[in-house]
Amino acid sequence: MSAKIEFFPVDNGDMTLVRLADTVSTTILIDVHIRSAADDPNDQTPDVAKLLRRKLLTDSKGRPYVDAFLLSHPDKDHCSGLVKHFWLGAPSDYPDDDLPQAEKRIFIREIWSSPMVFRRASKNLTLCDDAAAFNKEARRRVKLWEEQGWAAEGDRILILGEDENGKTDNLTAILIKETETIRKINQNSCSGYFSAKLLAPFPKQDDEEAEKLLSKNHSSVILNIELSAYQWSTTPTRFLTGGDAEVAIWDRLWTKYKNTPRELSYDLLQAPHHCSWHSLSYDSWSTYREDAEVSPDARNALGQAREGALIISSSKKILDDDKDPPCIRAKKEYLAILKPVDGGFLCTGDVKGCETIEIIPQNDGSVVRKVAAAVSGAAQIAATSAPRAGTYNGIL
């Protein structure tokens, strides 16, 4: 099985399935945005729940599963459908064994959750039912770990980023601090196939204004994931994903890594916040239009495209209008980042029907893209670059 990254067509929302090239095809699902006509008769969204189940393996009990589920942040467009389509609760209480396969809830072997992201989000919005249910399940798993000092599949959790006031100090065995690297999934080593550096969220700031700014700028989990085409590939593919992180977050990341820009370099970028202008600028696109100014630091942080890189917008079609997200000006900025390295920009909103955009890592770190058959009547597979010769830093 080759490594693969799949972006689902979920309108303005994120739902990304990462599959490793290891022998057991380990999977990570990043966010979920599942809606259907049954929930809203006017909703014409493709049946991505059915599509997801079709792509997942089943365990010895016949349950469809993901090895890890990461909620980048608790906005509705990143967790819709979680309660309906996933099992949240003790594995022993799983109630769907006798249901048809298509109706069984997806079993989550390990949850990846950030307490600081939830804490910051809760200050600015009321959590939707799915987000509240995820938070409750995360707390259940943490409590179980505190009581037992271990956890079985379905009870496991990985905490991404320290909580405030030392609340995660006694959880070091299941804690990944900012700047640290994840090397295990579901407590199994993925050495040679996978690693992921945690770039954000940042810990609680002592400066009240700085903390307020980070909270308002969609604090999200940001990972730079390395995937190998096969074990110990010469050059792993780097996938930078950051939920809805906005401009102040990317500014801070550039300040932190401007002397080591490789930490932000990528072969594949998921355009933050569904290709929103607010990830690149403090100015409103609808107000200032072409007079809106790019933040140089945010642009540099998001500009570390390696040769042959791809940028994916998980969003509606991008039109030349006042809407944001997605924003036409943001798309133009990403195209400018890619132009020197002859990469490509893709949007899930351009895919017709219920298919994913598949990205296949290559041994030299470059990527091959497979666009859904519905786009042109036949599957399109195209290498984005020849073997790379170097790296583009894109510094303004």
DSSP 6-36: EE---SSS--EEEE-SSTT--EEEE-EE---
Q: pLDDT value at position 40? A: 65
Is 390 within the bounds of a domain?
no
What pLDDT band is residue 160 in, cutting at 50, 70 and 90? very high
The pLDDT tens digits for 15-40 are: 999 999 999 999 999 999 998 655 66
Other CB atoms closer than 10 Å to residue 206's CB: what's the count?
7
Mean pLDDT of the chain: 90
What pLDDT band is residue 383 in, cutting at 50, 70 and 90? very low
Q: Mean pLDDT over residues 206-228, rounded?
A: 89
The pLDDT tens digits for 310-324 are: 999 999 999 999 999
What pLDDT band is residue 283 in, cutting at 50, 70 and 90? very high
Is 246 within the bounds of a domain?
yes
Q: Mean pLDDT over residues 46-60, rounded?
A: 95
What pLDDT band is residue 343 in, cutting at 50, 70 and 90? low
Rounded to the nearest 5 percent, the helix, strand and coil shares of the chain are 30, 25, 45
C-beta separation of 365 from 237 below 8 A = yes
Helices 247-257 and 208-216: crossing angle in degrees, nearest 10, is 120
Residue 287 scores a pLDDT above 50: yes
Q: Mean pLDDT over residues 133-147, rounded?
A: 97
Residue 375 scores a pLDDT above 60: no
pTM of the model: 0.93
Give the total number of structural domains in the chain.
1
Is 391 within the bounds of a domain?
no
User: 40: number of CA atoms within 13 Å, CB side?
Assistant: 10
Work out the percent of the chain whose per-residue pLDDT is above 90. 75
Q: pLDDT value at position 395? A: 44
Is 396 within the bounds of a domain?
no
The pLDDT tens digits for 252-266 are: 999 999 999 999 999
Spatial separation of the C-alpha atoms in residues 66 and 3, rounded to whole Å = 15
Q: Could you tell me the residue range of the domain that residue 297 belongs to?
A: 4-383
Is 388 within the bounds of a domain?
no
Q: Mean pLDDT over residues 203-223, rounded?
A: 87
Q: pLDDT value at position 373? A: 43
Q: Is 373 helix (H, G, I), strand (E, B) or coil?
A: helix
Cis, bond preceding 361 (omega within 30 deg of 0): no
Question: What CATH code is carried by the domain that includes residue 289?
Answer: 3.60.15.10
Spatial separation of the C-alpha atoms in residues 61 and 69, rounded to whole Å = 20
Strands 380-383 and 367-371, bridge-based pairing:
antiparallel
Is 224 within the bounds of a domain?
yes
Closest C-alpha among 37, 68, 38, 65 to residue 53: 65
Spatial separation of the C-alpha atoms in residues 327 and 294, rounded to whole Å = 13
Q: Mean pLDDT over residues 82-93, rounded?
A: 98
Is 392 within the bounds of a domain?
no
C-beta separation of 367 from 310 below 8 A = yes
Is 395 within the bounds of a domain?
no
